[in-house]
Amino acid sequence: MTNVTQFSVFMANKPGILAQLSRAMAKEKINITALSMMDTADTGVLRLTADKPDAARAVLQSLNVPMTETDVLSVPVANRVGAVADLCERLSKHHVHISYLYATTGGRGAKTTVVLKVNDARKAMRAISGPTKHVTGRDMKIKLRRPGGGKRR
């Protein structure tokens, strides 16, 4: 698990913009290690991490696109059912708020990477690095309520 720089790039929601940006990164031999794209009717927000953040910053600046930088956590996890749930539960138990996350995918049996924006990176790192306890549904004390608070008939 590492702290990495995430770039949030704000761009027009038009064909070819993402292709231009990703081609510029490839031309400079920058590997995009994780990305997420969200859109509205007019604009898109691309969040990405790269293996060479200084070079990625220079490319983005040369393209003259509005952007921000944020420190995020990059956490390798097993590519298996429940891996993200386990990670989120660990953070929850340590009262770490996840603002957002996105993940890469890997082949069957390979590692994947989860990128998280959290309110307290140090606390999150301690929570993730600590001893592992597998949580089952029986361990979770969640009470489900019927809509409107009504009783079952």
Q: How far is residue 126 from each of residues 31, 52, 78, 123, measured CA to CA in Å?
A: 28, 26, 19, 5
Architecture of domain 72-133: 2-Layer Sandwich (3.30)
The residue written with tokens 């301690």 in the block is 126
Q: Strands of the chain (E only): list them.
A: 2-12, 32-39, 43-50, 67-78, 98-103, 111-118
- Distance in angstroms (rounded) separating the CA atoms of residues 145 and 87: 26
pLDDT on residue 13: 84
CATH 3.30.2130.10-classified regions of the chain: 2-69
Residues with Cβ within 8 Å of 102's Cβ and at least 6 positions away in sequence, in order, are 34, 35, 36, 47, 114, 115
Q: Dump pLDDT digits (tens) for 112-151.
A: 788 888 999 999 999 888 765 544 444 444 444 445 555 4
Closest residue by Cα to residue 5 from 79, 61, 55, 66: 55
Task: In the chain, list all ranges with CATH 3.30.70.260.
Answer: 72-133
Q: Are 21 and 70 in contact (CB under 8 A)?
A: no
pLDDT value at position 144?
42
9 token code pair: 């790039």
pLDDT at residue 145, rounded to an integer: 47
Q: What whole-number distance in Å separates Cα of residue 120 and Cα of residue 97? A: 8
- How far apart CA 106 and CA 127 sit, in angstroms, is 24
The pLDDT, as a whole number, for residue 86 is: 95
What's the pLDDT score for residue 153? 45
The residue type of 83 is: A
Fold of 2-69: VC0802-like (3.30.2130)
Q: Which residues of the chain, if any, have pLDDT below 50? A: 134-146, 151-153
Q: Output the pLDDT for position 136.
A: 44
- The pLDDT assigned to 35 comes to 92
Q: Residue 10's pLDDT is what? A: 95
